[in-house]
Structure 1
């Protein structure tokens, strides 16, 4: 029995035309997109509740997309391909993975070049759109339940995706689908109340720099006046950050204002490791340590914690779940 695929268009370079590139209105683009879809597959096209340049997307937009997918699930759709811009494609993938878990077959894709020529009246002579879209459509009916990113013939676990190059066709890297990972499997039902709450989600990720501890303290002290919901500290190597008691106290003061302080690494892949003396302070300072699979996945996990729990103490109680 042929599996029906819901193809959801959310914008991005894929649907841009003109010079400079600008998005074609969805109602004009979808009929042109349908002309290039493979005839052997049962595909129904949908317009996402939000269409915008992906660099402008926020948690609210991805939650609206998740809600739309969950509404289609209630109509018996179980296979979804999403066309999304590449700038925040890894973040969209991670948010969907954390919200949908293994409740459906979901594959996100995008392109480095548009589908259409400058005038928008024919397909572009050189484009990666058709190749990426066909690969995503083929993958969604074969992959196990979960969320994936399909790009340049690579099917990647969504929570591990990282954009590795600004212009090359092979733009994304991560752990490929044929390698098992420990990933989020539980879904959350997205409703209007959660979407409204997400509008106020404030997450700051601070990449640690090789400057003096005193300068770090001054920088961190700025967050005491208006702390975010989550402060992510990207240390060196396996999460190493050089501190003193004053710096730890500043971080604890920030956390006391209901801000989750999370330690992670600037290094894209690999687990954190606190065997070094320079990281010994983390074990007794009572900060959260990332157990996510990428920076985008850590953002998505922080978002999920914020949506589910109002107090940072609850984040600590459920962080390892």
Structure 2
């Protein structure tokens, strides 16, 4: 039976700063933290939007800096199972180190559905570690406000994956962390294309079931590939092109993977004939190389000869996608599709939706 908007928002606690406590700070286990949080929620005066919430059991509680592709697949499986049971609205509490990566990955994975997922966390723990005789909210923390905002956003039920932080929210694929300790640690924008525009507000039951059947059919393969999938980042510095070429060469003997080539400015990369040849070899061996910019905003273009040459050697332009969004799309393609050709085709089929100005080559 299809769930309605009256059904509870399901919360997932995955650890991180939000649930940390003590001296030194460490994430509390779900068995300890969730009853505390439930009591705090019940004690609030304005609970109209909080009363219809429940917890989704999650066995993976860890610092987000330790998350792996296998862990990303875990959250995908967890949410997919709940979605198959009729759940539509979720709030995922995680750490901030990889929050933007996980949010963007879930956006890719659930594209085409009507699920509503809000990802949040905090820069300061919810609980005041200066008060050790009882658990109480730290008045200087951003955790409670972030949770409140996320629950309200999820209660509205708009389809898609969003990140809610610091009083703002954005499509998950556009978000990146821009400050290592300030409470306004994230930013994003609303000029999102695929996968944000693929979510369906009113998805007929038949189409939803077809989508679920397709995802569940691939679940075992996705879990198996998550054990060994690898994504690499090559960061251009003011070196001779031989340096980046040697780094890329070292990856060619490994199984086909995703490689993010982080160029200067609009994606400029030092040229050499050897590097061009290595890029050709990478393509032949099934690696997907994505051209990205080290700049936090703007993305890549082919305006400069210093950057456009790489696209003649099978590098795919990352467009305006952030590094977390590029990682997320690569990871999903590597998990979901079994051949380099299909992965490349799926990326390029969405090239106009990515906001890229670079023509397909």
Structure-1-length-normalised TM-score: 0.92
Kindly state the Cα deviation for residue 164 of structure 1 after the two structures are TM-superposed. Answer: 0.7
* TM-aligned CA distance change 1:254 to 1:142, over 3 Å: same
Structure 2: which 5+ residue stretches go unaligned? 200-210, 350-361
Structure 1 residue 201 and structure 2 residue 201: aligned?
Answer: no
Match of 2:99 in 1: 89
> Which of 208, 217, 220 lines up with 2:248 in the alignment?
220
* Residue equivalent to 2:26: 22
Report the Cα distance in structure 2 between the residues aligned to 1:292 and 1:200, rounded to whole angstroms: 28
Greater mean alpha carbon deviation, residues 201-210 or residues 119-128:
119-128
**Could you tell me how far apart the structure 2 residues matched to 1:103 and 1:143 are?**
9
Q: 1:317 Cα deviation (Å)? A: 2.2
Listed as ranges, the matches of 1:306-317 within 5 Å are: 306-317=334-345
Where 2:348 maps in the other structure, the secondary structure is coil
Alignment of 1:77-156 (within 5 A): 77-101=87-111, 102-118=113-129, 119=132, 121-142=135-156, 144-156=158-170
1:144 aligns to what SS in structure 2? coil
Larger CA deviation: 91-100 vs 305-314 = 305-314
State TM-score, norm by structure 2: 0.82
The alignment of Structure 1 onto Structure 2 pairs a total of residues equal to 318
Would the alpha carbon gap of residues 116 and 280 (structure 1) be closer, same or farther in structure 2, given more than 3 Å must change? closer
What residue number does 2:185 align with? 171
Indicate if the aligned counterparts of 2:236 and 2:263 stay in contact, CA closer than 8 A: yes
2:47 counterpart of 1:39: yes
2:266 matches 1:238: yes
1:300 is paired with a residue of what secondary structure?
Answer: helix
Cα separation, 1, equivalents of 2:327 and 2:82: 26
Quick one: distance in 2 between partners of 1:297 and 1:61?
A: 17
CA distance in 1, matches of 2:70, 2:244: 32
Alpha-carbon distance, 1:74 to partner: 2.4
The alignment yields a C-alpha RMSD, in angstroms, of 2.0
Q: 1:135 & 1:235 partners in 2: Cα distance? A: 36
Q: 2:279 aligns with which of 247, 251, 275?
A: 251
Q: Output the CA distance in 2 between the equivalents of 1:249 and 1:237.
A: 23
